[in-house]
Amino acid sequence: MGSFRTSWRVGRVNGVEIRLHVSMLVMVAFLSYAWLPQNRWDWLFLLMLTTGFFIGILLHEVGHALAARWCGLAVTEVVLWPMGEFATWRRSPEKLGHRLSICAAGPLASLLFSLALWAFWMEDLSPVSLWPYLDPVWANLTYQAVSVVVFLNGVLAIVNLLLVEPLDGGGMLTALLERFFTRRVAGTVSLVVGILCVIGLSVLAFAGGGSALSVLWLLLIAGIVAFNPHSRRWMLLGTSVLATRVGLRQLSQRHEEVTPACLPALEQHPRHRSRVLVGWGVLALVILTGLGVLMTRGPAALPVLVLEHANLIDGVSNTPQRDVTVVVAEGRIRAVSPATFSPPVGATRLDLKGRWLLPGLIDAHMHAASIDMSELRDSGMTTGRSMFTAHYMDVALRERHRRGDPDIPEILAAGYPVVPNIGTFPIPDMAAIYGDHPQLKDLRKGADIGVAGVQRLVRANLDRHVDVIKVFATNRAWFLNSDPRGRALSNEQLAAAVAEARKAGVPVAVHAYGDDGVAAAVRAGVSTVEHGVYVADATLALMKARGVCFVPTISAFPQPDPTENRAVDADALAARRQEMAASVRDSSRRARKMGVRVLAGTDGGGSIGDEIVELVAIGMTPMEAIQAATSRSADALGISGRTGSIRQGLEADLIVLDGNPLEDIKAVRKVVLVVNDGRIAANRLPAK
């Protein structure tokens, strides 16, 4: 039977010919589709991802080749593939040990590559880390690519160790079965296990919803189908017919033995015809030139956007405006006029038909835990104050936004929080700071970092140009051995952190549940109090007198389930959650009545729309709650000169709601249009 083989010669190393199989190009197409590059950062990410996967595949095949030579078999070529290609040779290893060694060598090589790559980026384990020397944008982009490469190579290696057949129908599983049973039985069992594997991976891919899992699933289906001798006959027949239809040349086999070349071809392999890749220098020049253009060109000119017939809530006024037209040009609001305004020629016009136009929402306490911020943006958040990310991912996102990435909201970055002890304080990923700042590794030795350690942590964050410093005045809540009312940083440490931040003109936000911690932080000079679950009236009065704002993050404390019985609840954390949920709502209600400025923040507990709904539930009017997530937050965070309201000259951060939020505040959850810096970032308006 003919085999479908198309590959290109890309070089020769130590007498071994290296070839690139066409399926590698199919893999690149799969990856491109899975990640759908939309901007220069996406293209750079895809380039890193593809390069890393190519290296993993190369090491995989080299592992097979080295093992074959160790077994005394001459190697003439290495074929790079992700889904398999077919070759022939005159003889195969006869000893079971040789078969298993050659079979396992390739997957183990790529697995070791993945582990080494991961260990290098697990900064606290690595003797040398690049994190302190890389720009945050590049560091996080590389980290994302490395994570996906490690995942793909690692899982493929593990599956290959069990299922793939690198030698004449004999993978690890098949070779062992053939030792005790017939080849037919081994092939049948391999096929059944492969089908079960595909089903399991399919469920995992669709349940996880990740593009990496989906790509991996497609690759493994093709690989398992290609490598099983039963299903391979049908695949060969199908590819032969397809190739004949499209005019591709089929090469006939010269030997009876047909085996997949996940291993290099062995001695006396007949030299098969192939096309040679030419113009490597030209290709490299094109790639470098393209990257240079991507990195140096500025953002494309934005078209004029005209939003007509809108009911306007400007974020400042207590009275909405009816039938208004807003004109956006060059990323800024250029006019707010009656509906009779004549738009410029060539403008993009959107008739809102009485829908409600608001400023983009501001989340005063969120966590930029992912490089993909589109979900939060689509919920109406155009600005977020990130209160902790490892590796300064929030700084990287902020820079991507400033460089014109329309998928990223504006980010105010805090970097790492200031805690009394990095090694024992229960914050996941806090130890990653040692990779970003190796000079701080001595802080892990003591039970408390002291005042000097606090100052060093603040300066380390300031060196990375954060927008806010976050400090912990009390413990965290969601750990049984941690009392949320108990103190974390001392009074002296809080004062030192605020003083150090003030030298750079950077505000300080405090995580505090207990009243003692809140009061100490307010006296130290913080700008905002986060959570404040058990804050007393006297401390709220002090906050009002000193102009300290309150970010209760109510949506991070889910409403208690009336069916739960606290007295008999076996889960102590669930009982704590009930108590804190009730207390934070009471604190917020009292703060609002006393005139403390209450801001909207989610702490990752929901969308910013959910927090606005919660603010109305504690007694705010719908207009007050909207202002808490727009102009009041902008003023408290020091960005009211750029965003937070709809007026001429400000950045065009706008959202459109499908319903009237003044009648039903839940309408803030129904965002149908998001404009981020003058660009339409999400559009769910009905088609005309």
Task: Identify whether residues 329 and 384 lie together within a single domain.
Answer: no
Statement to judge: residues 78 and 190 lie in one domain: yes
Residue 146: inside a domain: yes
Asked whether residue 246 carries a pLDDT value surpassing 50, the answer given is no
pLDDT: is 298 or 416 the higher one? 416
Provide mean pLDDT across the span 171-189.
Answer: 74
Q: Helices (H) and strands (E) in the chain — how many of each?
A: 20, 21
* Structural domain boundaries, residue 96: 7-296
Structure token digits, residue 137: 């944008």
668 in the same domain as 611: yes
Q: How many residues does the chain have?
A: 688
CA distances (Å), origin 332, targets 196, 306, 322, 326: 55, 12, 21, 10
Percent of the chain with pLDDT over 90: 39
Same domain, 80 and 112: yes
Taking alpha carbons only, the member of 394, 527, 363 closest to residue 464 is 394
Asked whether the beta carbons of 76 and 269 are under 8 A apart, the reply is yes
pLDDT for the residue numbered 7: 67
- Last residue of some domain: 262, 278, 296? 296
User: What percent of the residues of the chain are helix, what percent strand, and what percent coil, each to the nearest 5?
Assistant: 45, 15, 35
Q: Are residues 526 and 543 in the same domain?
A: yes
Is the pLDDT confidence value at 172 over 50? yes
Judge whether 658 lies within some domain: yes
Would you state the pLDDT for residue 18? Answer: 74
- Of 258-267, 316-325, 509-518, the one with minimum mean pLDDT is 258-267
Residue 437 or residue 468, greater confidence: 468
CATH number for the domain including 394? 3.20.20.140
Q: Is the dihedral of CA 600, 604, 610, 613 positive or negative?
A: negative
Q: Which of 177-181, 191-195, 334-338, 579-583 has the lowest mean pLDDT?
A: 191-195
342 domain residue, yes or no: yes
Angular region, 465: left φ>0, alpha ψ -120 to 50, beta rest: left
- Residue of higher predicted confidence among 458 and 276: 458
CA distances, 36 to each of 118, 211, 567, 681 (Å): 25, 10, 52, 16
Q: Quick one: 34 and 99 in the same domain? A: yes
More confident residue, 130 or 174: 174
CA atoms within 13 Å, Cβ hemisphere of 585:
19
What's the whole-number average pLDDT of the chain? 77
Q: What is the average pLDDT across 588-604?
A: 96
The answer to whether 54 and 23 are in contact (CB under 8 A) is: no
Residue 404, token pair as written in the block: 């014109």
Residue 214: predicted pLDDT:
53
Given 274, 296, 318, the domain boundary residue is 296
- Residue 105: inside a domain: yes
pLDDT of residue 149: 81
In this structure, is residue 503 part of a structural domain? yes
Cβ(347)–Cβ(303) under 8 Å?
yes
- The answer as to whether 416 is a domain residue is yes
pLDDT per residue over 185-244, tens digit each? 776 777 677 667 666 666 665 555 444 455 555 555 555 555 455 555 555 555 454 445
Residues 583 and 645 in one domain: yes
pLDDT of residue 216: 52
CA dist 168 and 166 (Å) reads: 7
* pLDDT tens string 542-592: 999 999 999 999 999 876 555 555 444 447 777 888 899 999 999 999 999
Domain membership of residue 410 (yes or no) is yes
Q: Do 312 and 292 share a structural domain?
A: no
Last residue of a domain, one of 333, 352, 371: 352
Separation between Cα atoms, residue 354 and residue 412, nearest integer Å: 33
pTM of the complete model beyond 0.75: no
What's the structural domain count of the chain? Answer: 3
pLDDT digits 0-9 by tens, 258-276: 343 344 444 434 333 333 3
What is the tens place of the pLDDT at every residue in 383-393?
999 999 888 88
Contact 489, 508 (CB under 8 A): no
Confidence at residue 223, expressed as pLDDT on a 0 to 100 scale: 53
Which tens digit of pLDDT belongs to each residue from 439-448?
898 888 767 8
Give pLDDT, residue 25.
66
User: Do residue 261 and residue 369 come from a single domain?
Assistant: no
pLDDT in tens, 633-650: 999 999 999 999 999 999
| Distance (Å, whole) CA 458 – CA 684 | 43
Whether residue 688 lies inside any domain: the answer is no
Quick one: 407 and 470 in the same domain? Answer: yes
Q: How far apart are CA 669 and CA 81, in angstroms?
A: 47
Sign of the alpha-carbon torsion through 464, 468, 471, 477:
negative
**Model pLDDT for residues 604-613, shown as the tens digit of each residue:** 877 999 999 9
For residues 336 and 378, membership in a common domain is answered with no
Local confidence band at 62 (pLDDT 50, 70, 90 cut-offs): confident
The confidence score (pLDDT) of residue 506 equals: 97
By mean pLDDT, which of 42-46, 230-234, 313-317, 555-559 is the weakest?
Answer: 230-234
Average pLDDT over residues 589-597: 97
- Residue 634: per-residue pLDDT: 97
Domain co-membership, 593 together with 679: yes
